[in-house]
Amino acid sequence: MSAPRQRGSAARAPRRGAPARNGTAAESRARQRALCIASTPVPADLDELRELLRTAGVAVVGELVQHREHPHPNSYLGPGKLEELRALAASLDANVIACDDELSPRQERTLEGELGIAVVDRTAIILDIFARHAGSAEGKLQVELAQLEYNLARMRGLWTHLERLGGGVGTRGPGESQIETDRRLARDRIAALRRRLRDVHASRQVMRSERERSALPQIALAGYTNAGKSTLLNAMTGAEVAVADRLFQTLDPTTRAFEVGGRTYLLSDTVGFIRKLPHQLVDAFAATLEETARAALILHVVDASAPEEELAAMTRAVEDVLEEIGAGETPRLLVLNKADRLDELERTRAVNGHRGDGALLVSAATGEGLDALAERIDEIFTSQRSPVTLLLPYSEGGRLAELHALAGELEREDTADGVRVRALLGPADASRFARFATRA
């Protein structure tokens, strides 16, 4: 995360042994010491927030949880807990407060004013990580759009040092004018980004139309971030997508082909999901997430090495996002990844626990179970195919090659009128070749 601004606080001398000011950027980021907070009616697990902060390059020095039905509308934590937080932050030498929820602008301002140190919420942390990992032009545009929309409501307060006049005619202060100017500039930039993203979306639509014209079955990888989707894509297709043991390593969609039983399939990987995924990101990455929404089959990849309760929560989070992007009714296959991290008892529990889901246990890292996964994919699509008999004129050699890619092995017979072919085709493919249909 970029170094937070500490309003109204004096500069603190570096601790003994701390990196020098001219150290590397990584060392500078490591000097951020976050205290995690949450307000929840049920016991809170802040492990995911800790992992988000680690990915953002922030050290975690402690946590504080308040159990209450609803967060305080003004300060997120109640007055008593706020006093406890101030004392704890001072004792732990924390210089960032990280909240596990999205704060309202008022809550954020109140906390910063009461504590005198920077406050960031879950959404700001995720946006920061996305900004670091965005590689393509489209990804950078999407992240900038999400950041601007998030910050637009938080612009009030950035110019409070200029507000010296009261409201009413003739008392309009320069601070208010500056806020309006900044908001107008932000809205103009948001409109420009949306236009550019529409152009990018149109280009992506052209590429998607080319893939759809090939009529190859499309499969999407979906799952919680860091479940191993990119590793699985590489293992199944021979792609070389960058992988790392950190959240949101992959933001930009990647589509590659692989073959099973002579039939070709397209496999797409895109951004991972997470609990409480900010709506700004869902909206900004709508074009990217269309790869998942348009797929004929979704491979829901989960980390089988996660504790059962955590695994169930991650699975629910993914299902919620799939519903939100319009892919709730798409057929899916549960893939239990990271089998290499399980002992025999854990393997048995993982398979038995999801037997009703038809889940497969695999390891994208070692290749275990990938042949069985490919065969299951082929079985799912084969079950949707029906036998057809076609007569293709010899002049339609290109259509015959296309048929090979779609159906794999064919029964063919050369006749005086053309090539008689018997193949298994899905309903959409059968309609495309309907003009060549003939009796067996």
Higher pLDDT, 309 or 200: 309
Rounded distance, CA 263 to CA 334, Å? 22
pLDDT (tens digit per residue) in 297-350: 999 999 999 988 888 888 988 898 888 888 888 999 999 999 999 999 999 988
Closest CA to 121 of 53, 177, 222, 41: 53
CB–CB of 118/154 below 8 Å? no
pLDDT (tens digit per residue) in 64-92: 999 999 999 999 999 999 999 999 999 99
Give me the CATH topology for the region 25-120: Rossmann fold (3.40.50)
Query: Looking at residue 277, what is its pLDDT?
Result: 73
CB–CB of 101/220 below 8 Å? no
Structure tokens at 162: 């200029």
Rounded distance, CA 21 to CA 26, Å? 12
Tokens 């001219």 sit on residue: 22
Rounded distance, CA 420 to CA 51, Å? 59
pLDDT (tens digit per residue) in 215-254: 678 899 998 888 899 999 999 998 887 676 666 666 667 8
Rounded distance, CA 415 to CA 20, Å? 82
Query: Looking at residue 14, what is its pLDDT?
Result: 34
Higher pLDDT, 91 or 208: 91
Structure tokens at 146: 């999400």
Residue 98 has pLDDT above 90, yes or no: yes
What is the chain's mean pLDDT, rounded?
80
Measured CA to CA in angstroms, residue 97 lies from 47, 49, 94, 271, 343 at distances of 15, 12, 7, 27, 38
Residue 168 has pLDDT above 90, yes or no: no
Query: Looking at residue 215, what is its pLDDT?
Result: 67
Tell me if residue 261 falls in helix, strand or coil: coil
Residue 105 has pLDDT above 80, yes or no: yes
| 411: Cα separation from own chain's centroid | 43
Structure tokens at 368: 């275990």
Radius of gyration of the chain (CA): 27
Fold agreement (25-120, 216-382): yes
What is the assigned CATH class of domain 216-382?
alpha beta
The per-residue b/e assignment along 257-269, b for 16 or more CB within 10 angstroms, e otherwise, is: ebebeebebbbbb
Please enumerate in sequence order all residues whose Cβ is within 8 A of that of 12, keeping only pairs 6 or more positions apart, or say none.
95
CB–CB of 325/300 below 8 Å? no
Question: Which segments of 139-290 are extended strands (E)?
Answer: 218-223, 254-260, 263-269
CB atoms within 10 A of CB 45: 17
Higher pLDDT, 33 or 274: 33
386-436 carries CATH number 3.40.50.150: no
Rounded distance, CA 284 to CA 194, Å? 9
Rounded distance, CA 258 to CA 239, Å? 10
Query: Looking at residue 4, what is its pLDDT?
Result: 39
Measured CA to CA in angstroms, residue 113 lies from 9, 79, 118, 406 at distances of 10, 13, 9, 63
Tell me if residue 39 falls in helix, strand or coil: strand
- Of the ranges 36-40, 149-153, 286-290, 316-320, which is most confident? 36-40
Q: Give the domain ranges of the chain.
A: 25-120, 135-197, 216-382, 386-436
Q: What is the pTM of this model?
A: 0.68
